[in-house]
Structure 1
């Protein structure tokens, strides 16, 4: 059964993150292999330049200064200065290259995530708040950017730095080197204890962040309802409660996260003290003054990258909670997709047949459609009527294959709709729903969305047929008028006329109107119907309408009730039967008379 989620409900993770999943990140780094090799080369050169410093200091203290060898001291100083310049140049290149790689990784991951979202069926978006989807595409990916680019390459840099430093340390004094590594096991144990608690804490935090984002998105979308009922105080109280949950989860997570760093710092300090203690005892016998000073410098060079590696490990554990959600979305398989042997649907005439079609949203849920059968011939107009929730919209959603039929068969020109590619099917089926969506941009662009290669003349022609041209011409910039998301500056009727023009521009062979004229006034609807009369000739049309007066001329009227066709026929035939349709029509007629 599909799990439905709300803004104040923590999401259940379908699959926990596997450490092997980190290998998937290599897929995103692979296109930048050459750049990474150059970065690693600069890191290696830069690290060698940095670790030369203590070694040059040892030579100066043990040889050049005691022997008053000024040429040697000058040469050592010159080499040291050059090494600093090389280290600076390598560091500057690394920062630039890493930033570029990181931004490209962001685009690649976000594009893959968005692409998969485009493939998912309506059911995926119906069962979770949209804010919880948005946070994965935006916030979670941003959180990973530093880890995938700067953090990852810095990790390699630190590992190289540790390796180079250890090589110099062993070359100078292998006994002191082993002594400096004595507390490493303590560090490993401490990191293991912290990471288990940290991962749990950040998984809880990601849930609370998701809840907060979902409630914020929902509140903005419903702001008119909130203000219309004067419920701002209640909305604020709900927001405060969810925000406080997020705050508490964040404080718990951070408290655990920052437990690792002090532990590493303390172990580093203890190691330095240990080296001082051992080195001073052996000073002048086994260890020279220059060797001890150089070794203390190398111990710092060793522990600084170790601390950085610990911080990266910290970030890795934190990022794991976000990667779980990102990969979960990437791995979400669309239930409505092309079959392996799917083929393109040829240009259709519009012969549509439902043969004992059953549909249910969930495997153990109730039947929404129960053995529905009907035949729509090419060019016919089929009207679907019935009470709310009867299954009318489900029929047209199956026709456009927004969902798959549970059983039975739906054919178009005798071709099973589930055997053809979705793109070839939907390119020949135009759908206009009551809840029209207007994108931010110009009115011209919004209409052209129906067919992106359409000319301006084509757009104007569609707008005139849909009777949208009249009001568009009255706008200050006409078709170049910029509207915001959802078309807030337009009336509901104007938005529907634009959506109507968009569908008509697509020139579909099968046209679906789901309460498409609900927000249009009676006068505009009469004009629209007149303009559509010629366009609908030769097309198979499906009309869902609660205003029964608008479908009197339909070739076939299907009365849907409880997921079944209870009556079918033309208007006059159904009225003569004095059944369900007659009662619906008569009640609407009497209601209209009462309101006049």
Structure 2
């Protein structure tokens, strides 16, 4: 059972940032992916922000102004409290003309309102401009990734899972986007808040400031201890989540098999076991990490008590005003918040740099060899193909083809046969220049394919593969994919030639039937017929059929073979087949094994040789010959 496919990475900023609805300390202890080269990746990511340095300066200034006006407000509000307190005390003492100076308080409150409005306005400017910078930066990065993917060779996609590539192009990019838009401005705000609050607290009372600062080490110790403890359970939670997702995915994908073999109880029992395991690690992780906030609040309340008691004593000694005590209490509350935010942001930035590093690894992948400076174009290809001393291996130290030589005349039908892994499909990949040769050359109409434009080279070929590929859209669109601008009549004619027209018209919406993403709403054989119709519509100069009729019944195969025979008239055709009965009429049969052509000739010539081909051919009709051809014990067959 796969346990990797369902593993989820922590969402970008989710549970760790301080966005809307987030609480300080949320997500602390979550496992954080770390970059291999933090400084180098950070510097490179910063390079993408440099074109927007003017806007970033605006963001920086707006964040500072917004934060300063916000943290100055409590001190001014304290003045209003002082005025109110002084007026009440004077009135209580019975001083002549004593009373609360409401005009002065109103004046202070108006100033305070203006400050709040200015702070909110600059906060809006900061978020608006930063959103523009972040989205533009990620837009440029996404564009580079998209262009890079178009320039990567086929071997890159063959050696990596689709999920991994999509994760880098989507999940990691979203992580970067979220951090740039939210955490970067939060980082500036938190730093300015810490500095500003310390300065203002010092202006009120150095003694009280010392009391608040002394609570910081205690807060850090608690945070580190709890985070380390919860880290273990979070790792277990992620692992269990991956296992559970993998199980659900596999059971869903193999639902019919589970039903057919009666494994429902075993499947449910395994799910319950994995779910229980996830529950155990999940609640422990959430509970332990959830204790951070109560502990932080407890420590903050201790500081609050000390500030209140000491501040009260200072007020009685006229060493400090009561409004300043109020302001100081607000500052002490504000002081712990940005520290917790910075701890969370540090985790987010680590995860983001790791995501950026994965994206940059993709951007640094080796690209396809560039086309020739003056690439040639074959306007009217004839279909002559020649392999001259071709050498190739998927790994540099493990050669597959050593010295392959083939000479195919225009219009010939070449059949390629051999056991699995012999190199049949590799030959096609090399012909279409999906992979580069290690030695020798391949000529089409006498021109080296490395001198041709890739688009022109591949436009000469029509392919029907064993693994069908259809996309989410109408049947008409899937067939029309073979040639741009094809008319309705041409699409129908191609469908009739492929013997697909009849089953298409039996569908509720005929040619307008929508295929789902996996095209599971039609049978495997019907999928194959549609891909054959697509190839017929393309009207290529060179045709490649890789087990094209493997998914259809024998009767339909006979019709398709006739359609293929008509299609192959006057065209060079490469036919890869396991059922040797389908290629008896080929002009030339190439027998491959271990990347080399060991026999070649017509069907009759190869049978007369009584060699490898004859063994393969006879193995499809007699068990004894099969054992000989496959070199496996008779009793296994």
State the TM-score, normalized to the length of structure 2: 0.75
Question: 1:287 pairs with 309, 320, 323, which one?
Answer: 320
Does residue 18 in structure 1 map to residue 51 in structure 2?
A: no
Mark the structure with the bigger radius of gyration: 2
| More off after superposition, 559-568 vs 308-317 | 308-317
Q: Identify the residue that residue 431 of structure 1 maps to in structure 2.
A: 463
SS of equivalent residue, structure 1 residue 165:
helix
Q: Distance in 2 between matches of 1:129 and 1:248?
A: 31
CA drift at 1:542: 0.9
Secondary structure (helix, strand or coil) at the match of 1:294 reads helix
Residues 118-129 of structure 1 mapped to structure 2, 5 A cutoff:
none
Structure 1 residues 185-204: aligned runs within 5 Å = none
Equivalent position SS for 1:437: coil
Deviation at 1:407, TM superposition (A): 4.3
Match 1:570 to one of 590, 594, 602:
602
Q: Provide the secondary structure at the position in 2 that maps to 1:55.
A: helix
Normalising to structure 1: TM-score of the pair?
0.80
Q: Provide the residue aligned with 2:20 in structure 1.
A: none
Unpaired stretches in structure 1, ≥5 consecutive residues? 592-596
Contact 1:202 1:321 in 2 (8 A): no
Q: Which residue of 1 aligns with 2:442?
A: 410
- Spell out, residue by residue over 1:256-280, the C-alpha distance to the aligned partner (whole angstroms, 9 max, x if none): 8667656755664555455446545
CA distance in 2, matches of 1:242, 1:128: 28
1:489 aligned counterpart, secondary structure: coil
Aligned equivalents of 2:351, 2:528: Cα separation in 1: 46
Give ranges in structure 2 of 5+ residues lacking alignment.
8-32, 88-99, 624-637
Tell me whether 78-87 or 417-426 shows the greater mean CA deviation.
417-426
2:338 maps to 1:305: yes
Residue of structure 1 equivalent to 2:480: 448
Q: Could you say which residue in structure 2 is the equivalent of 1:594? A: none
Distance 1:340 1:525, change over 3 A: closer
Name the count of aligned residue pairs. 583
Q: For residue 368 of structure 2, what is the aligned residue in structure 1?
A: 337
- Provide the rounded CA distance (Å) in 2 between the counterparts of 1:15 and 1:351: 51
Deviations 1:458-492 (A, max 9, x none): 54444344333333233222221101123212122
Deviation for aligned residue 1:568: 0.8
Structure 1 residues 33, 320: closer, same or farther in 2, change over 3 A?
Answer: closer
**2: CA distance between counterparts of 1:188 and 1:99?**
32
Alignment check: 8 A CA contact 1:552 1:571 kept: yes
Correspondence for 2:584: 552
- Counterpart check, 1:58 vs 2:90: no
* CA drift at 1:518: 1.4
CA contact (8 A) 1:131 1:213 kept: no
Query: Aligned-residue CA RMSD in angstroms?
Result: 4.4
CA distance in 2: counterparts of 1:107 and 1:449, whole angstroms: 29
Structure-2 change in CA distance of 1:121 and 1:585 (3 Å):
same
Task: Give the deviation of 1:400 after TM superposition.
Answer: 2.6
Aligned: 1:500 with 2:520: no
Three-state SS of the structure 2 residue aligned to 1:372 is strand
Higher relative contact order (CA 8 A, sep 6+): 2
Q: For residues 459 and 249 of structure 2, what CA distance do their matches in structure 1 show?
A: 31
Aligned equivalents of 2:53, 2:347: Cα separation in 1: 26
2:413 aligned with 1:393, yes or no? no
Out of 377, 382, 392, the residue aligned to residue 346 of structure 1 is: 377
Q: CA deviation at 1:44?
A: 4.0
Is the deviation greater in 271-280 or in 477-486? Answer: 271-280
* Alpha-carbon distance in 2 for matches of 1:170, 1:470: 87
Residue 511 of structure 2 is matched in structure 1 by 479
Q: 1:244 to 1:106 in 2, by over 3 A?
A: farther
Alignment partners' CA distance in 2, 1:392 and 1:311: 55
CA distance in 2 between counterparts of 1:445 and 1:175 reads 77
Go from structure 1 to structure 2 and tell me whether the alpha carbon gap of 1:62 and 1:275 turns closer, same or farther (over 3 Å shift).
same
